Amino acid sequence: LRRTKSVRAVRQKASAMTKRNVRNDNTSRSPRTVIPRRGGTPRRGNLITQKIKKGETLLKVALITGASGAIGRETALKFINDGYFTVGQFNNGGDRIEAFVSALKNENKSDYFFPFRADLKNAKDCAALAEFTLENFGHTDVFVSVAGTDVYKLCTETTEKEWDDIFSVNTKSAFLLTKSLLPSMIERKKGSLLYVSSIWGVSGACMETAYSASKAALIGFCKAIAKEVAPSGITANCVCPGVIDTP
């Protein structure tokens, strides 16, 4: 990717627009306001790809959920260091995202990171996240589903809402975003899907029935989608971490 003045200028504009999504956690919002708009509905790829000669094939784009968490942040940093324009979803971790952006600025890498606030329990927010990525970059090379939530309770004490919320974040959001991002990957005959499950999705964990079930479902989803998309040159993989020491 050539560093021309026009490319740098459009990066700065895109970065300024997306930074508006890093707001106080108490700020009210709706799916209609999480997408930065300028002069009406943005056209597909309007921020960057239209400014680069020979189109989007030179642009590497990654979408990562749970970017405010320790695993998500390190995942985002890896892609940024590898030259990917990285969209990082977060919800309640605005302060951690701001700290991450500040650290990237110190290393002159903030132009590659685009934080986006979305509640993954909300299907409209998931759609807005995918829409933002596709409209502003034209495609996605890599989708990494890192976001996860849990409750530590006996099965008999777990409420239906807690069960539904855990499945919405851990499993359903991965399905919704995959469904939205796949058409552009299939069109380009390339792309990577990566789902972060858990060892509890394999073995199950006492006091974490909802979490274990949601992560097991994610493993099954990955196995199935891998067979669907392989003929289109797209890979799908699932990792199942054990205990990780995070801040």
Closest to 69 (Cα-Cα) out of 36, 100, 28, 32: 100
Q: Which residue among 84, 112, 195, 211 is the active-site one?
A: 211
Whether 152 is a known active-site residue: answer no
Contacting residues for 48 by C-beta, under 8 A, at least 6 apart = 7, 10, 11, 14, 59, 85, 136, 137, 138
Q: How far apart are CA 116 and CA 85, in angstroms?
A: 13
In the structure encoding, which two tokens stand for residue 48, read together? 């960057």
Q: How far apart are CA 3 and CA 16, in angstroms?
A: 18
Task: Give the type of residue at 217.
Answer: A
Q: In what order do the strands lie in the sheet with 61-65?
A: 113-117, 85-90, 61-65, 142-145, 191-196, 234-239
Supply the residues annotated as catalytic: 211
